[in-house]
Structure 1
Amino acid sequence: MDETWTIRELADHAAAKLAASASEQVNGRVRDLPNERLIRWYTTIGLLDPPLGRRGRVALYGRRHLLQLLAVKRRQAQGRTIAEIQLELAGATDATLERVAGAAADAEPDAPPAERERFWAARPDISFGVPATLDTSPALVRGVRLVPGLTVLLEVEDLDAEDLDALRAAAGPLLQELRRRGLLPEPSTSDHPAGSTQ
């Protein structure tokens, strides 16, 4: 079995690695050396995997936890926010963590077995035929209520009156099909803006 550590030992190992590369720690707002409380918080918010197991009441951590901890601290030292780090490192492989942590040269001779794909941590492709991009920045989403019961969500910065009119006009065939299938009620006079026809 691979080497395991208690939470205190994990914090000590991470502190030793980070101290060896102290020149990279440039962000004064970030606590340079992790402690037990910080490790527990990182586990709670998903930056670190849950412990491998327990020996009695003592949680046990392994090499992957060390890589996760080092990668988080390196990204913080570069000025990244916790949210940015979560987006980047969620579901990261050991190889990615080694690259980010800069610990590839410290790899142990007995590498852990290849891990299974963490499908639940991957960003789903719900693009309906449009290739998913690797842009992980959060998008601003605007909702446009076409009629009661139907709102369209768009990832756009802003919409003007002309955009809204064009969207409503283009939605006519969609509204007709949804009504034909019984997915939307028949329109009433209150469903349309004053003076509009559909």
Structure 2
Amino acid sequence: MEWTIGELVERASAALPPAARQGGRVRDVPNERLVRWYATIGLLDPPAARRGRVALYGRRHLLQLIAVKRRQAEGRSIAEIQAELAGATDQALEAIARLPASPDGSPAPREARPRFWTGPPAPARNGPPVPPAPARNGPPDPPTPAWNGTPGSPSPASPPPVPSAASAVPAVRLAAGVTLLLDGASRVPSHDDLAGIAAASETLLAVLRERGLASPEGKP
């Protein structure tokens, strides 16, 4: 079993309970940036293999990642976890991670969250919806008088068209060569909006890089 870093994060998140407040802080589920940091400080082994530029991870990485999050949920510091898990055997990691069994030996996944880039596109909106015209109980409008002007002169009943001003579309740069256009946005994204978009785009960027549709990490 080999997974990309995005798939590894999904399986680890599926095996962990929902985020809960402990000691006044929110224990979050792992993400791709956290996996890379754990590998840098030795809590995760290097990738098991590579498919081109894509790093691949195996079951031991999954056990290590979940074991670290279990110990953090118990209040252990990173230094304490490093001392305990450095060089730990698969059996020791199994005992700490407590993975729920499934036919392929991986944690039973939670219901997959919908990926916004795979669904049908939302209908384009150029402005607020137009309310229906109110019912009228009075007499009908008089007919528009016929235009008897000379050819080429404007009709009084048809005013000249007014060109509409181009509206600015907010955009969020996700990575080098990847920009998200918020065509239907009614306001400029806030700092919290940008943080949420950045977290949600990790899996999309991994897919784009894997398929050669985005620049590899570290290159402009």
TM-score (norm 1): 0.49
Name which structure has the greater RCO, CA cutoff 8 Å, separation 6+.
2
Given the two structures, how large is their TM-score scaled by the length of structure 2? 0.44
Choose between structure 1 and 2: higher helix proportion: 1
Highest Rg: 1 or 2?
2
